[in-house]
Structure 1
Amino acid sequence: MNRTVRTLLALLGPLLLVLLGGAVLQGTASAAAPPAGQATRYTMTAFTNSSESNLYVYDSPDATGFTLQKGPAYTPPSGLIRDPSIFKHTDGFYYLTYTTNWTGNTIGFARSTDRVNWTFLYNYTIPISGLTRTWAPEWFIDTDGSVNIIVSLTAASTATHFTAYKITATNSALTTWSAPTQLSGIGPNNIDTFIVKAGSTYHAFTKNETTKYIEYATASSLTGPYTIRKTGDWAGFGSWVEGPALVQLDNGGWRIYYDGYRAGKYWYSDSYDNFATWSTPTEVPGLSGFIRHATVLKETVSGGVTLPTNATRSLRSVNYPDRYAVVRSDSLGYVDPVSASSSTAVKQSATFTVVPGLADANCYSFRDSSGRYMRHWDFRIRFDSSNGTDTFKKDATYCARPGTASGSARLESYNYPGRYIRHYNYALRVDPYQDTDTFRADSSFTVVSPWN
């Protein structure tokens, strides 16, 4: 982001917050990284291009770089496992619901204790006469605790004229369900409807099967009536896309994943203004072109990376262990050689005070000996004095993720999730995560005793 745009955003930020209705719409007031000893875990379930009958399970600490946990992890007794949707129930089990076949009137259910080993439960018949296709069931847990499934149904002879319906669990075992209720205002001919709730508003993302765009609608009730707010390529997601699935990030933003099925790509994009605008779509690293129609479950679990705060430390490069993060006289960050024979000035340049994150106290900020903070500007690491703005605080905050070596950490940008501090030609930058060993090593640092 260039200097002019950033200056305008800093000046207009408070006004935009008022116009958008305050912190609830911004999504940042209640969001925060987990405290020390805990971590965020994002579990992704998907089927693949190579098989519609095998479930693949991945997880991630940052919603960007996903690691395979098991694949195939589950094959149903018969039929398909397209469009798998995952949630964790109050009984401690993880549950899947999924599309069982290209035609028919059933959805499938499976259960797991650990997200990777699954047991088939049953196929459920949607009690509507004449259904020819029953696609893309998605869990939706409402704020009243009710467990719902949003599913796309049609009685047409071809795969057209889908309409979104809701069924609600009527027992805690999730074995009995209410009569289907149509979601007023969505359809006909909308499929893959995914709903999230922010404040008192239900936000629906749904594929228009005629135009092949993901549309956006809102309602004050789960069953509607929904008002279609955005059509066409309103968010820059492109056409011939489907399977939207959303999850909220630790910094309060919302991430949407979706399937660019004609191009054979899988994408994500982020929003920080109540779904009005979205970042430039980015391919899901390592998985784009392999997975299809995923959903992502966010949880807080034990573990994670904890750095000492209000203590001086140095950051040693994992793959260049004789080099450390430093601030040079030009105020920019590098990884330079530092040793016992280095001058006092060099040792001081490699020594920082680790403090609670300026934008989120469960993340971290780094202050040099002159009181300047390590922040990114045009994605380059530099050290500046705080000007007290929200933009500066976010630029200077980094969340710790596991590094490649035991005890090491990777530092993710707070306001650009998926970007990490890494060295490139020995210069420190915040670059988008890449699914390569080189990137993971370049972005890993061991927090060690201070040089000065």
Structure 2
Amino acid sequence: MVAPFRGQAQEPGKNEALLFAYFKGNGDGLHLAASTDGLNWSPLKNDSLFLKPQVSQDKLLRDPCIIKGPDNLFHMVWTVSWNAKGIGYANSLDLIHWSEQQYIPVMEHEAGARNSWAPEITYDKKQKVYLIYWATTITGLYPETQSKEENSYNHRMYYTTTADFKKFSPTKLLYEPGFNVIDATIVPNQSQYLMFLKDETREPPQKNIRIATSKNLVGPYMAAGPPITGKYWAEGPTALKLGINWIVYFDKYTEGKMGAVTSPDLKKWTDISGKINFPAGVRHGTVFKVTRQELEKLK
């Protein structure tokens, strides 16, 4: 259920600020925007690049996902190409100076894999490893949801784990919801995990954001719930809790702008797309918290 917005967004803590990592165009590189209220976002360094992509044949940086690990490093993964079987990775202490970029061949072992889209990272505190997950179409799998539209893509979510970004566990299936799914992002919530995902079904069109839950980070995840977004096409969800409210940002990619919904209970969702202000040209990205001191160094 999506209701009209009549309230105010919650602000982060006194020593906290919000950052949004994003790309522009077809994948020019890493941009950052900052906010202190979750609604109004300002580009940093005049919207110039914080990292220019160097890995893969296409050298793209799309769909950046950044988290801060227990090692105090910012870890980032991204889409390197429309059709590569791997993803990009780099880390940084300050979001300014970055490690050497790394190509992680997450699907190179799979002959029928067509792509590796929109990777994300979630840290598993129990296992002390990072879960890296992304969407891939493997030719011939899941024919019951196959469509000839949109290049016949038919994605499912896959994952690997790592403790050090040097050694990686064998790739496994993370989520098969019974439909074409991309852009999953997982956030812990008390004793469970919330997977915000895009239902990529083309016939008939869905193109909305839904939620699946699990008691374990690697699943099994329950059936996805009803759409939390409205009657428009949305992708690239990124979520966090501000005060008592959850807020989910997403890319209204057919309209060339960002959207957002908010909820106090993960059940009744309020559309606040008309209340948010992002820099022009922002595409699929991730929101994360930093200290005010960390933000000041980025200006």
Return the offset for 1:186.
2.9
- The CA distance in 1 between the partners of 2:116 and 2:275, in whole Å, is 28
Number of residue pairs matched by the alignment: 265
2:21 pairs with 1:41: no
Q: Distance in 1 between matches of 2:96 and 2:43?
A: 10
Deviation at 1:288, TM superposition (A): 6.0
**Structure 1: how far apart are the matches of 2:275 and 2:91?**
26
Deviations 1:52-74 (A, max 9, x none): 12211112222222222232221
Aligned equivalent of 1:183: 174
Confirm or deny that 1:59 pairs with 2:51.
no
Q: Which residue of 272, 277, 287 maps to 2:278?
A: 287
Match of 2:249, as an amino acid? Y
- Aligned 8 A contact 1:185 1:224 in 2: no
Change (3 A) 1:188 1:125: farther
Does residue 92 of structure 2 align to residue 118 of structure 1? Answer: no
Contact 2:31 2:50 in 1 (8 A): yes
Q: Distance in 1 between matches of 2:248 and 2:92?
A: 25
Contact 1:185 1:227 in 2 (8 A): no
C-alpha offsets along residues 25-65 of structure 1, whole Å, 9 cap, x if unaligned? xxxxxx9964xxx51111111001x3412211112222222
Whole-Å separation in 2 of the counterparts to 1:189 and 1:198 = 25
Q: How does 1:9-88 map to 2 (within 5 A)?
A: 34=13, 39-48=15-24, 50-70=25-45, 71-78=48-55, 79-88=59-68
Question: Structure 1 residues 257 and 192, CA, compared in 2 at 3 Å: closer, same or farther?
Answer: same
| Matched AA of 1:226 | Y
Alignment of 1:312-327 (within 5 A): none
> SS state of the match for residue 291, structure 1?
coil
Check 1:134–1:283 CA distance in 2 against 1; reply closer, same or farther (3 A cut). farther
Q: What is the TM-score normalised by the length of structure 1?
A: 0.54
Preserved CA contact (<8 Å) 1:153 1:163 = yes
Where do 5+ consecutive residues of structure 2 fail to align? 1-5, 141-150
What is the root-mean-square deviation of aligned Cα atoms in Å?
A: 2.5
Q: Conserved in 1, the CA contact under 8 Å of 2:136 and 2:158?
A: yes
Matching residue within 259, 266, 269 for 2:258: 266
| 1:385-404 matches, cutoff 5 A | none
Give 3-state SS (helix, strand or coil) of 1:74's partner.
Answer: coil
TM-superposed deviation, 1:154: 1.4
| Deviation of the 1:80 alpha carbon | 0.6
Which amino acid in 2 is paired with 1:168?
A: T
Q: In the aligned structure 2, how far is the partner of 1:101 from the partner of 1:154?
A: 14
User: For the residues of structure 1 that align with 2:21 and 2:294, how far apart are their CA atoms?
Assistant: 22
- The answer as to whether partners of 1:183 and 1:222 remain within 8 angstroms in 2 is no
Q: Which moved more, 1:203-212 or 1:148-157?
A: 148-157
The ranges of structure 1 where at least 4 consecutive aligned residues each deviate by more than 6 angstroms after the TM superposition are none
Q: 1:52 to 1:33 in 2, by over 3 A?
A: closer
Instruction: Determine helix, strand or coil for the equivalent of 2:116.
Output: strand
C-alpha contact (below 8 Å) 1:264/1:288 kept by paired residues: no
Give, in angstroms, the shift of residue 199 of structure 1. 1.7
The one-letter amino acid of 2:51's match is Y
**1:129 is matched with which residue?**
110
- Partner residue in 1 for 2:247: 255
Check whether the contact 1:181–1:223 (CA below 8 A) recurs between aligned residues: no
Rounded Cα–Cα distance in structure 1 between residues aligned with 2:76 and 2:275: 22
Equivalence map 1:330-345=2 (5 Å): none
Cα pair distance change 1:288/1:159, threshold 3 Å: farther
Contact residue 237 and residue 281 of structure 1 kept, 8 A:
no
Unaligned segments of structure 1, at least 5 residues: 1-5, 7-30, 305-452
Counterpart CA distance in 1 for 2:224 and 2:209 is: 11
Alpha-carbon separation, structure 1, partners of 2:198 and 2:229 = 14
Alpha-carbon deviations, 1:367-424, whole Å to 9, x = none? xxxxxxxxxxxxxxxxxxxxxxxxxxxxxxxxxxxxxxxxxxxxxxxxxxxxxxxxxx
Paired with 2:185 and 2:207, the residues of 1 have a C-alpha distance of 15
**Aligned 8 A contact 2:54 2:101 in 1:** no
Percent identity at matched positions? Answer: 28
Partner of 1:395: none
Secondary structure of the 2:44 match is: strand
Residues 1:202 and 2:193 are matched in the alignment: yes
Contact 2:156/2:176 (8 A) holds in 1: no
Match status 1:141 vs 2:136: no
- The CA distance in 1 between the partners of 2:101 and 2:200, in whole Å, is 31
Q: Establish whether residue 220 from structure 1 lines up as the match of residue 215 from structure 2.
A: yes
In 2: Cα distance, 1:204 partner to 1:63 partner: 21
Distance 2:22 2:154 in 1: 25
**Higher RCO (CA 8 Å, separation ≥ 6 residues):** 2
2:210 and 2:135 map into 1 onto residues whose CA distance is 15
Q: Would the aligned equivalents of 2:43 and 2:279 in 1 still touch at CA under 8 Å?
A: no
